[in-house]
Amino acid sequence: MSNISFSSVNELKVLLKEKNLQKILLICGENSFEASGASKILKDLLKNKELKIFKKKFSYPELNELNQIIESLKDFSPDLMLAVGGGSVIDYAKTANVLTESKNLKNEILNSNYEIKKKFTKLAVIPTTAGSGAEVTANAVIYIDKVKYSVEGNFLRPDFFFLIPELVITGSNKIKSSAGFDAIAQAIESLISKKSNDKSVSFAKQSLEISFENYLNYLNNPNIENTSAMCFAANLAGEAISISKTTAPHAVSYPFTSIYGVSHGHAVSLTLNKFLKFNYVNIKDANCNFDLKERFKIIFDIAKLNNINDFDKFLDNLKSKAKLENNFKNLGIDIKNDYSKIISGVNMLRLSNNPIELNPSDLKKIIIDKSL
Ligand SMILES: [Fe+2]
């Protein structure tokens, strides 16, 4: 697995050469577009196109910017929307492209009664982080008043994606560590998710084999091989959660991002160990149509370990070497005082995918564990 190396620049060239893709709406990050090197790579490829650029400013996807993108999309009516950026940029593009007909966007997202009938235009995405796998998933996150909502539907899945490790390698370690951990958490959560099946298990297993082997090297000693590997691991984790969805660590992570500004993968890392331990300790109460113990064994085997305590230490070691702060207090989060505020931003329905049922008092105990 250590010899993965690829770049999709040529495939991207082929797509952009198509004469019927003349008008292009480019959605990108305000700074990352230049910093990642994307602007350099795309300059030539886009030079004969009619181009409109939307640079997103917000650090996570929220309603006002989404509205602006929808307006740009309708005004410009491009042949192709090209999203170049991290998970937020990709989520904006996916959502905007299916909600152009919406009459009252805010209410429809709040109540999940949006109607998705078609895509407005073709969507191509180029992730500049290796993490979310948003280039292959059929849902997207949008925050309204700091609360996370999902927009879901097959039409959200991008038509094309291009993995270009040259753009990912340029990211800061802060971005890479968080995004990379997102891929790791998504693969682990997928393996124990109630909705998992043989196909998602196969994607998640392959993803985890690659990420465990490459994550720290990619942070400390980055090269095109380990960066390609992490792009691939993230992509596979995206395929896995497309089927299985995520579980509790993801469900409770969103308020840490919207209230305290902790980036997504980092926010997920804050409770991953504790939910895994809870799930393992209560394995006899598992409410799923597979053997949960077998799934944990798959995870332990990939890490070359054989029990939950060693795996817990293994994850702690990964987080500490990746400099993902694990202490709520050091992140400016008063977990005891703010607990009700945090939990009010969690969609309890989303927790139903956890293999062990979680009641409110379990949840509180898991999140406000004294050891943190
Ligand atoms: Fe995630």
Please name the residue that has the structure tokens 């994607």: 203
Instruction: Please give the pLDDT value at position 371.
Output: 52
The domain ranges of the chain are 9-166, 172-367
Q: What spacing in Å lies between the alpha carbon of 159 and ligand 1's midpoint?
A: 21
Q: What spacing in Å lies between the alpha carbon of 135 and ligand 1's midpoint?
A: 12
Task: Report CA dihedral (20, 22, 25, 26) to the nearest 10 degrees.
Answer: 100
Q: Rounded to 5 degrees, what are φ and ψ at 56?
A: -80, 145
Please name the residue that has the structure tokens 């270009």: 164
Please name the residue that has the structure tokens 């060239």: 13
Instruction: Please give the pLDDT value at position 2.
Output: 39
Instruction: Please give the pLDDT value at position 1.
Output: 39
Q: What spacing in Å lies between the alpha carbon of 177 and ligand 1's midpoint?
A: 13
CATH number for the domain whose boundaries are 9-166: 3.40.50.1970
Q: What spacing in Å lies between the alpha carbon of 222 and ligand 1's midpoint?
A: 22
Q: What spacing in Å lies between the alpha carbon of 240 and ligand 1's midpoint?
A: 12
Instruction: Please give the pLDDT value at position 370.
Output: 60
Total residues found in the chain within this entry: 372
- Round to whole Å and give the CA distance between 17 and 143: 36
Q: What spacing in Å lies between the alpha carbon of 184 and ligand 1's midpoint?
A: 9
Q: What spacing in Å lies between the alpha carbon of 346 and ligand 1's midpoint?
A: 15
Instruction: Please give the pLDDT value at position 248.
Output: 96
Task: Report CA dihedral (327, 328, 334, 337) to the nearest 10 degrees.
Answer: -100
Q: Which CATH superfamily includes the segment(s) 172-367?
A: Dehydroquinate synthase-like - alpha domain (1.20.1090.10)
Q: What spacing in Å lies between the alpha carbon of 292 and ligand 1's midpoint?
A: 22
Q: What spacing in Å lies between the alpha carbon of 50 and ligand 1's midpoint?
A: 34
Q: Which residues contact 132 (CB under 8 A, 6 or more apart)?
A: 86, 87, 90, 179, 182, 183, 186, 234, 238, 264
Q: What spacing in Å lies between the alpha carbon of 221 and ligand 1's midpoint?
A: 24
Strand 147-152 and strand 139-144: the pairing is antiparallel
Q: What spacing in Å lies between the alpha carbon of 345 and ligand 1's midpoint?
A: 17
- Round to whole Å and give the CA distance between 87 and 82: 14
From the list 210, 103, 85, the residue with the least C-alpha distance to 158 is 85
Q: What spacing in Å lies between the alpha carbon of 205 and ligand 1's midpoint?
A: 17
Whether 230 contacts 130, CB under 8 Å: yes
From the list 7, 33, 37, 34, the residue with the least C-alpha distance to 86 is 33
**Token output for 169:** 């390698």
- Round to whole Å and give the CA distance between 44 and 156: 28
- Round to whole Å and give the CA distance between 185 and 98: 28
Q: What spacing in Å lies between the alpha carbon of 141 and ligand 1's midpoint?
A: 10
**CA distances from residue 329 to 9, 136, 326, 362 in whole angstroms, order as listed:** 43, 35, 9, 21
Q: What spacing in Å lies between the alpha carbon of 245 and ligand 1's midpoint?
A: 10
- Round to whole Å and give the CA distance between 215 and 140: 25
The tens place of each residue's pLDDT in the chain, 372 residues long, gives 334 556 688 899 999 988 789 999 999 999 889 999 999 999 989 999 999 999 999 989 999 999 999 999 999 999 999 999 999 999 999 999 999 999 999 999 999 999 999 999 999 999 999 999 999 999 999 999 989 999 999 999 999 999 999 999 999 999 999 999 999 999 999 999 999 999 999 999 999 999 999 999 999 999 999 999 999 999 999 999 999 999 999 999 999 999 999 999 999 999 999 999 999 999 999 999 999 999 999 999 999 999 999 999 999 999 999 999 999 999 999 999 999 999 988 877 779 899 999 999 999 999 997 654
Q: Read off the pTM.
A: 0.94
Instruction: Please give the pLDDT value at position 316.
Output: 97
Q: What spacing in Å lies between the alpha carbon of 249 and ligand 1's midpoint?
A: 9
Q: What spacing in Å lies between the alpha carbon of 290 and ligand 1's midpoint?
A: 23
Q: What spacing in Å lies between the alpha carbon of 190 and ligand 1's midpoint?
A: 11
Q: What spacing in Å lies between the alpha carbon of 252 and ligand 1's midpoint?
A: 11
Secondary structure string (H, E, C) spanning the chain: CCCCCCCCHHHHHHHHHCCCCCEEEEEEECCHHHHCCHHHHHHHHCCCCEEEEEEECCCCCEHHHHHHHHHHHHHHCCCEEEEEECHHHHHHHHHHHHCCCCCCHHHHHHCCCCCCCCCCCEEEEEECCCCCCCCCCCEEEEEECCEEEEEECHHHCCCEECCCHHHHCCCCHHHHHHHHHHHHHHHHHHHHCCCCCHHHHHHHHHHHHHHHHHHHHHHHCCCHHHHHHHHHHHHHHHHHHHHHCCCHHHHHHHHHHHHHCCCHHHHHHHHHHHHHHHHHHCHHHCCCCCCHHHHHHHHHHHCCCCCHHHHHHHHHHHHHHCCCCCCCHHHCCCHHHHHHHHHHCCCHHHHHHCCCCCCHHHHHHHHCCCCC
**Token output for 226:** 């380990």
Instruction: Please give the pLDDT value at position 5.
Output: 57
Q: What spacing in Å lies between the alpha carbon of 227 and ligand 1's midpoint?
A: 18
Instruction: Please give the pLDDT value at position 251.
Output: 94
Q: What spacing in Å lies between the alpha carbon of 44 and ligand 1's midpoint?
A: 33
Q: What spacing in Å lies between the alpha carbon of 183 and ligand 1's midpoint?
A: 7
